[in-house]
Amino acid sequence: MCCQSPEPPTREEAESKTAHKRNLSNGTSEQSPARRSKRQKSTINLKEQSDSQAEESEAETFAPAVEEEKPVKPVAKAAGKKAPVKKEPKEDAPPKKTRKTKKDQEAEAMPLAPRTKGLRMFVGAHVSAAKGVFNSIHNSEQIGGNAFALFLKSQRKWDNPALQDEHRDQFHKLCAEKGYDASKHVLPHGSYLVNLAQSDKAKAKQAYTSFLDDLRRCEALGIKLYNFHPGSTNQTPLPEALSRLAEMLTQAITETKTVIPVLETMCGHGNTIGGALSEFRDLLALIPAEHHARIGICVDTCHSFAAGYDLASPSGFKAFLSEFDELIGIKFLRALHLNDSKAPRGSKRDLHANIGTGFLGLRAFHNVMNEPRFEDLPMVLETPIDRAPVKDEEGSESESAKPKKGKKTAAANVADPGVWAREIKLLESLIGMDPEGDEFKALETKLSEEGRAERERLQDQHERKIEADEKKKAKGPGKAKGQKSLMDMMKGGAKKD
């Protein structure tokens, strides 16, 4: 048979040979891939796909299932900025705090107790004015108060923003809508920083500026009573301190029109002014008589009891009012702070207790609520309302009550305004109640038992302090630290530490 002539090379083979020769001429033995047209590439790709599909169909008969990899989305890089990295939430991370819904806010604003209308006694509490003075009205209504106290600004710093016109107008509007007489039954409390008896001129000016600002806020809000602490002598003689206080009050009255500064009775500790009723008598004597109509006194039951006055027994209470009227004049009594006392009478310790649980006892507040001369005066509770956090059904505390990490402190107490709501109703129930009846005695016994442990603890402290003071007096004035004794001086010895 004759040999068949070889078939002419295809175009691909020719291009491959040409590329091979080119590589050899460049000194390389590696074969470069041949260039293909778009039509050739598509033909070859289809063939490769059909072959790969056949291989995959064979592999499915024995290969285990492999989890599909999620495609990574390309992130566009901004000039000079790193692409944000999404952090995965930690399993033990606390849940994010969410804003309270309108429904939640309405539930919190629901009254804890209704207000009792038509009473001669106006009882309330010192409520919060956070986020605007007008909120104090909502907070008072929530606990069923017919009177209330508030801070007109932060009581722990000197510089405060001015009263906003919108807040002022809202306060007037809500007082009218809710039936609060701001001129009679609202009793703002002054700053704890202010001491009008201050001897230092610069500090005295600072105190007076803050005091006058509060009085002007009162007048803008239609409030006529403003309660404040008389201050401290700062180790200067009492008559001098009273003179400075009288001068400041006289000046403040002349610079305002209607507001009445109301001085609070104090417990008599240290250099504080206002423990003894006679100190108010001496103060009034230093203020011109034409200004007396714009001066008032607020009796704090805890403070006066701690200062030594008997407000617990009916006879002691009557004697206290008689002394008040004789030394000062009952017409100057403008308000009351209703607080029981954790500390015994005469302890000079300012420790407020819940009504009926302290040394004053429920009988003292029966005296107050049935005294005709207290009608139409604002009576303000300042009793403690902080309570241990309530645990849920699973026994866990709320996140807000848990102590912070790294601290070994106990869970923070939670403010419970329901305490005030219950105490307001308790006090109102005492009006006309027979103190010798079974109802009163049952209440008195129950509340007294609740505070028994705390009273015993404070009584023990008080007795130990008295004993220590007596021993100190018996020893007489001791030598100063580092002073030589007579024996040391005779022997030429050194100072004793």
- Among the listed residues 126, 303, 345, 349, the single catalytic one is 303
3-state secondary structure of 126: strand
- Among the listed residues 115, 337, 349, 455, the single catalytic one is 337
- Among the listed residues 22, 58, 192, 255, the single catalytic one is 192
DSSP string, 298-310: EEEHHHHHHTT--
Known catalytic residue at 264? yes
The amino acid sitting at 201 is K
Instruction: Tell me the C-alpha to C-alpha distance, in Å, between residue 243 and each of 70, 227, 283, 381.
Output: 84, 20, 7, 31
- For residues 353 and 97, is the Cβ–Cβ distance under 8 A? no
Known catalytic residue at 229? yes
- Among the listed residues 15, 382, 397, 444, the single catalytic one is 382
Quote the DSSP letter at residue 71: P
Please tell me the distance from the alpha carbon of residue 257 to that of residue 486, in angstroms, as a whole number.
66
Angle between helices 201-221 and 238-254 (to 10 degrees): 40
Known catalytic residue at 189? yes
Residue 333's DSSP bridge partners are 297
Give the angle subtended at the CA of 260 by the CAs of 306 and 288, to the nearest 5°.
95
Known catalytic residue at 337? yes
- For residues 137 and 175, is the Cβ–Cβ distance under 8 A? yes
Nearest to 345 by CA among 333, 359, 364: 359
Place of tokens 């409030």: 223
- Among the listed residues 349, 352, 366, 455, the single catalytic one is 352
- Among the listed residues 156, 165, 399, 438, the single catalytic one is 156
Instruction: Tell me the C-alpha to C-alpha distance, in Å, between residue 136 and each of 140, 152, 171, 187.
Output: 6, 10, 9, 11
Known catalytic residue at 192? yes
Known catalytic residue at 455? no
- Among the listed residues 350, 366, 423, 462, the single catalytic one is 350
3-state secondary structure of 301: helix
- Among the listed residues 115, 126, 185, 189, the single catalytic one is 189
- For residues 77 and 83, is the Cβ–Cβ distance under 8 A? yes
Please tell me the distance from the alpha carbon of residue 110 to that of residue 134, in angstroms, as a whole number.
17
Known catalytic residue at 167? no
Q: How many Cα atoms are found within 13 Å in the side-chain-facing hemisphere of 170?
A: 14
What is the set of active-site residues? 156, 189, 192, 229, 264, 300, 303, 337, 350, 352, 382
